[in-house]
């Protein structure tokens, strides 16, 4: 994170019941440490850009 080498935070979760991803907890941790804008970039903006085949 400090070197700006992380572009997306995601989960490879396959089952909501036995292994939940805790993504909201992760987002709150990133938001507290690096700010809301960075959390939005990593959890929302960059994943959206990847899906839309845009440069991140």
13 falls within a domain = no
Alpha carbons 34 and 21: distance in angstroms, whole number: 21
15 falls within a domain = no
Alpha carbons 38 and 31: distance in angstroms, whole number: 7
Q: Is 40 helix (H, G, I), strand (E, B) or coil?
A: helix
Largest CA distance in the chain: 35
Q: Which domain, by its residues, includes 29? A: 1-8+20-56
Give the count of alpha carbons within 13 A of 52, CB side only: 9
Tokens linked to 56: 């991140």
The domain tally of the chain equals 1
pTM: 0.84
Could you report the per-residue pLDDT of 1-56, keeping only the tens digit for each? 889 999 999 988 777 777 777 899 999 999 999 999 999 999 999 999 999 999 99
């Amino acid at each position: 994170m400090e070197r700006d080498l992380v572009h997306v935070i995601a989960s490879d979760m396959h089952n909501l019941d036995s292994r939940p991803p805790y993504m909201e907890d992760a987002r709150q941790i990133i938001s507290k440490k690096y700010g809301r804008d960075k959390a939005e970039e990593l959890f929302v903006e960059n994943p959206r850009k990847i899906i839309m085949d845009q440069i991140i």
